[in-house]
Copies of this chain bind each other. A is one copy, B any other.
Amino acid sequence: MIEKVLHALAEPRRRDILYLVRDGELTSSAIASHFEISAPAVSQHLKVLEQSGLVVVRRDGTKRYYGIRRDGFAELKQYIDRFWDDSLLRLKEAAEEEERRRNGTNKQ
């Protein structure tokens, strides 16, 4: 899902939408009123954001309230952390392997 998260965040307008819904839910039209783009454009962005797991929708009658989904951001942070953890782990294993190799030849 990190693919979709990064793709969603890469678009400036989608980040602007996230800033808007960060403090509380907003309807699609309420969000659209803050920008100069059309309602369908906003709707399409919201779809991308929802499918990335960064926002959630709550339906109430004809209205749809969009709000932040914290787990989506947590996933991104995890991805960054793991990026380093994996690297360190592999470097550690390589060092241990090197150590074993040296011990082996030294004892011969």
Which residues in A have some Cβ–Cβ distance to B below 8 Å?
3, 6-7, 9-10, 12, 18, 22-23, 70, 73, 76-77, 80, 83-84, 86-87, 90-91, 94
Contact = CB atoms under 8 A, between A and B. Distances in A.
Q: Which 4 A-B pairs have the closest CB atoms?
A: A10-B10, A6-B10, A22-B87, A7-B10
A98 to B, nearest CB: 13
A38 to B, nearest CB: 23
Contact of A83 (B7, B22, B84, B86): B22
Given A77-B77, A80-B73, A80-B77, A87 B10 contact: no
Nearest to A4: B10
22 contacts: A3-B12, A6-B6, A6-B9, A6-B10, A7-B10, A9-B10, A10-B10, A18-B83, A22-B83, A22-B86, A22-B87, A23-B87, A23-B90, A23-B91, A23-B94, A70-B84, A73-B80, A73-B83, A73-B84, A76-B80, A77-B77, A77-B80
